[in-house]
Every structure is written in structure tokens, then in C-alpha cells.
């Protein structure tokens, strides 16, 4: 098991390879479809100067996403005495953010994208170019994953996006996942798809 703590260096990322088991600690944020669309359209590609509220959030995200992680998850939360905590937080399907992820990696210096099901060629190329990895979380284990979220530090865009789509700034303690896309251009998802195609072709030919 390889242990990483944000902020993560380029050298640490380059030591990772497809198939490595990782435990991640440190500060990260959740971010699903609405968050990625907002980051690209309102923070990355928007004309400068940004509106004050957007500039404030841009600066905040830059402060902890450089060398950090984004988690594709729509958590279930509870609030007690004004403090939020995660009840369940499984990884959501990541391919929906393929059209945005490469730009977010480049603009915010991400080192780790956590999700489920893998991503496509744009994200894989960004991982190789900017030295990042895709970490496949454990699907169907939302309560187990939530136990690794030991602190909710802040939340952004909660009223606008709703609880599942908001940016939840969190602190991980040993979140577990598998590297399935690395910074060397390898994708376990591509390898498995090719293997499936070869086996399927054999079955059809044999039939």
C-alpha cells in the first residue's frame, strides 16, 4: 500500500503505476458535473477580471488543489450543531466529466482525480502531461469511504448547486483506491476493453 498526503509532488506521482493500491490523506474537494462545468465556464475560460465572488472561489480552490485531489462524489451528509459530516460518499461515474477534466487538471494543478469507471483519452493525456493519476474508488462502499472523510472544512456553492453537487472541502485520512490511469500514459480501463474485444472476437469467430 502506497501512502500519499496532499500536496503531492510530481515525483510521487511518477512513482505510481497502474494497479498500485493507494491510501490518500490530506485536503481535497468533492466535485461532480455542476462543479466541473462551473470551474471551466466560470473560472477557467471566463473573461478576466472575474466577478468578485468567482475570483474568491477561484483563489480558494487554487490554494488547496495545487498538488491536491478532487473526488467525484455526491455525498450524503448530516449537520449537527452547525457542523457537517459525511454519512455516505461513494465514487460517482467519472466519464461524465471527461469534457472538463483535462482543463481542470491543467488550471488547478491537480495530482489525483478520484472516481469510478475510468475516464477517456483527454483525461489520460492530461494525466501524462501534467503528472496526475486517476484513482478508482471502491464502488458500493459509501459508508466505508465516508469513514475516511474525517473533517468537513468548508462548503461552496451549496445553495446554488445543492448538497450532492456542491464543493465540499474535506480532509481525508487514508482514503483507499487503485491507480487505474497513471502519468505514464497507461490506462487499465483501455487494457481491459482491448482484452474484452479480443475475447469477444474469438467467441464470435468460434461460433
Residues labelled catalytic: 36
CB 95 within 8 A of CB 72: no
CA trace torsion 85, 88, 91, 97 (10° rounding): -60
**Residue 104: CB partners within 8 Å, gap ≥ 6?**
36, 39, 40, 44, 70, 110
Nearest C-alpha neighbor of 72 from the set 8, 18, 139 = 139
- Classify 99 as helix, strand or coil: helix
* Residue 48, all three cell numbers: 478576466
CA angle 11, 16, 95 (to 5 degrees): 115
Collapsing DSSP to helix, strand or coil, 184 comes out as coil
Amino acid at each position: 500500500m502506497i501512502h500519499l498526503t496532499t500536496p503531492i509532488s510530481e515525483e510521487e506521482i511518477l512513482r505510481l503505476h497502474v494497479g498500485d493500491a493507494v491510501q490518500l490523506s490530506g485536503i481535497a474537494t468533492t466535485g461532480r458535473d455542476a462543479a466541473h462545468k462551473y470551474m471551466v465556464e466560470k473560472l477557467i475560460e471566463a473573461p478576466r477580471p472575474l466577478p468578485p465572488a468567482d475570483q474568491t472561489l477561484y483563489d480558494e480552490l487554487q490554494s488547496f488543489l495545487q498538488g491536491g485531489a478532487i473526488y467525484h462524489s455526491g455525498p450524503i451528509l448530516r449537520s449537527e450543531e452547525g457542523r457537517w459530516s459525511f454519512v455516505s460518499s461513494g465514487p460517482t461515474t467519472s466519464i461524465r466529466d471527461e469534457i472538463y477534466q483535462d482543463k481542470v487538471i491543467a488550471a488547478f494543478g491537480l495530482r489525483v482525480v478520484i472516481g469510478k469507471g475510468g475516464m477517456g483519452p483527454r483525461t489520460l493525456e492530461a494525466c501524462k502531461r501534467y503528472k496526475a493519476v486517476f484513482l478508482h474508488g471502491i464502488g458500493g462502499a459509501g459508508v466505508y469511504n465516508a469513514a475516511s472523510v474525517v473533517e468537513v472544512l468548508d462548503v461552496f456553492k451549496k445553495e446554488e448547486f445543492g448538497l450532492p453537487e456542491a464543493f465540499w472541502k474535506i480532509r481525508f485520512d487514508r482514503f483507499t483506491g487503485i491507480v487505474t490511469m497513471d502519468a505514464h500514459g497507461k490506462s487499465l480501463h483501455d487494457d481491459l476493453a482491448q482484452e474484452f474485444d479480443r475475447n469477444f472476437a474469438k467467441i464470435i469467430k468460434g461460433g
